[in-house]
């Protein structure tokens, strides 16, 4: 008994020295930080969901390990250094494109899973309901991929968005069309404005599509382009024949779309069946940039434009983009796209906010998010950086983001790839004009 007592005394003395010296047992230091991630993992946008999940997972993996080959601070720390090396744990939930389900999942993540915060949700309609739940509970939400302008016009205190929204992207489109008439597009002589008119548009009747529709009308008027027809159609429609007939009736020079994956594929197939011949066709990202869009339609997409925030050729001018893209391609077999790159960047923003906060308390995270500034050199996307507006009309909106327009073209090996055509000074290839038609 004396021997046991003596051993316990010695152990107590040693433990006291360790604690006084600042040593914290590994079991305490290696705690997890749970972040809820709500994406469309099944349903018509499942293809996007897979990309989003893979992008967020890769960002978490880079944060949780030391990856010397990745030129960004979070790749050097093996966890959140300000929180003792705590690792990020992502808890994924599938909203299936249903706003009410998204709200229910957010409540579960907050009340049952005790997440520190939320990342999501791609569908603007789901982001709207999920962010409302977060606002009610005082839980931080970072959005990386929803582009309805209204989301940052509500004055929410617990919502931040890293991606540029549709107002930025739609303005880019009309700047591009204007540039076509002024001879600014690489490889194309100045195009008479009348050749690009009239413009027609078709957008899904969702939160996102409806906003794009209103923005197209706004910017067409501002840039003095004739808009002959704009329609809202039911998402996940089994047939788009009547909609396409309506769009083709004015004999458009330019066709604009806002569609998720299954509808984007059906729209192009229907246009082909009716032998449409617009000179310019543009998609507002979403379905127009998914691997399934390329794999299903193949050569039929050559010449089609899409807005985006990531094109693999960015790696030619931005080293970190190439480093992360190589890892993503090894992991998934595909290059980063607009969805996956923005999901990666959204989780990267979470990591930086947590490092700055040095705490998982909501108020500390809120303060850090409102004061964070991430330099563009550490982002895979070609933005100036991430800095959230703390006041004004768009509270929580990243004011340093920007977009691009890419065009599907064939490379020297016959592969269909996206080439940058806007901004004009970043163009990676001559534009194919006019679109060959179907």
pLDDT score of 426 more than 90: no
More confidently predicted of 181 and 308: 181
Which fold would CATH assign to domain 167-308+403-426? Rossmann fold (3.40.50)
pLDDT on residue 16? 43
Alpha carbon distance 265, 13 (integer Å): 70
Question: What would the pLDDT profile of 313-352 be if each residue is shown by its tens digit?
Answer: 888 778 999 999 999 999 999 999 889 999 999 999 999 9
What pLDDT is stored for residue 18 in this prediction?
A: 39
Q: What is the pTM of this model?
A: 0.78
Band (21; pLDDT cuts 50, 70, 90): very low
Q: Are 27-164+319-387 and 167-308+403-426 in the same CATH fold?
A: yes
- The ranges assigned to domains in the chain are 27-164+319-387, 167-308+403-426
| Mean pLDDT of the 18-28 span | 38
pLDDT tens sequence across 247-300: 999 999 999 999 988 899 999 999 999 999 999 999 988 789 888 898 999 999
Q: What integer pLDDT is reported at residue 14 of this predicted model? A: 39
Question: Residues 179-219: pLDDT tens digits?
Answer: 999 999 999 999 999 999 999 999 999 888 898 999 999 99
Q: What does the mean pLDDT of the chain come to?
A: 90
The CATH number of 27-164+319-387 is 3.40.50.2300
Please write the tens of the pLDDT for every residue from 218-250: 999 999 999 999 999 988 888 999 999 999 999
* DSSP assignment string, 36-81: EEEE--SSTTHHHHHHHHHHHHHHHHHHHS--TTS-SGGGGSSSBG
Asked if 15 and 69 touch (Cβ cutoff 8 Å), the reply is no
Helix 124-137 × helix 99-111 angle, to 10°: 30
Q: What is the dihedral of CA 263, 269, 270, 272, to 10 degrees?
A: 150
């Amino acid at each position: 008994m004396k021997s046991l007592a003596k051993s316990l005394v010695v152990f107590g003395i040693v433990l006291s020295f360790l604690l006084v010296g600042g040593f914290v047992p590994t079991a305490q230091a290696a705690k997890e930080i749970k972040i809820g991630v709500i994406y469309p993992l099944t349903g018509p946008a499942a293809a996007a969901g897979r990309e989003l999940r893979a992008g967020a997972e890769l960002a978490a993996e880079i944060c949780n390990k030391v990856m010397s080959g990745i030129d960004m601070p979070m790749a050097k720390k093996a966890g959140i250094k300000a929180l003792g090396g705590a690792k990020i744990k992502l808890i994924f939930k599938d909203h299936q494109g249903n706003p009410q389900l998204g709200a229910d999942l957010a409540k579960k993540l907050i009340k049952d899973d005790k997440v520190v915060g939320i990342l999501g949700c791609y569908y603007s309609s789901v982001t709207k309901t999920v962010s409302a739940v977060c606002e009610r509970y005082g839980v931080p939400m970072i959005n990386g991929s929803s582009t309805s302008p209204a989301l940052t016009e509500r004055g929410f205190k617990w919502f931040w968005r890293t991606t540029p929204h549709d107002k930025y992207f739609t303005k880019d489109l009309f700047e591009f069309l204007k540039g076509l008439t002024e001879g600014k597009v690489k490889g194309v002589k100045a195009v008479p404005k009348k050749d690009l008119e009239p413009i027609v548009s078709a957008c899904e009747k969702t939160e996102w599509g409806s906003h794009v529709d209103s923005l197209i009308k706004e910017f067409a008027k501002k840039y003095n382009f004739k808009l002959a027809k704009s329609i809202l159609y039911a998402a996940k429609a089994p047939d788009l024949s009547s909609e396409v007939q309506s769009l083709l009736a004015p004999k458009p020079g330019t066709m604009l779309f806002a569609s998720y994956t299954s509808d984007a594929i059906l729209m192009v197939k229907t246009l082909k069946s009716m032998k449409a011949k617009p000179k310019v066709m543009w998609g507002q990202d979403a379905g127009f940039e998914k691997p399934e869009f390329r794999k299903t339609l193949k050569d039929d997409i050559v010449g089609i434009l899409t807005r985006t925030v990531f094109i693999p050729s960015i790696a030619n001018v931005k080293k970190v983009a190439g480093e992360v893209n190589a890892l993503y391609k090894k992991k998934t077999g595909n290059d980063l796209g607009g969805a996956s790159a923005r999901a990666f960047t959204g989780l990267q923003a979470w990591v930086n906010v947590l490092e700055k906060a040095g705490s998982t308390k909501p108020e500390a995270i809120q303060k850090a998010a409102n004061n964070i500034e991430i330099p563009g050199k550490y982002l895979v996307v070609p933005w100036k950086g991430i800095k959230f507006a703390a006041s004004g009309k768009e509270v929580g909106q990243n004011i340093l983001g920007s977009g691009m327009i890419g065009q599907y073209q064939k490379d020297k090996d016959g592969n269909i790839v996206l080439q940058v055509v806007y901004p004009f000074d970043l163009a990676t290839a001559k534009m194919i004009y006019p679109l060959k038609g179907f």
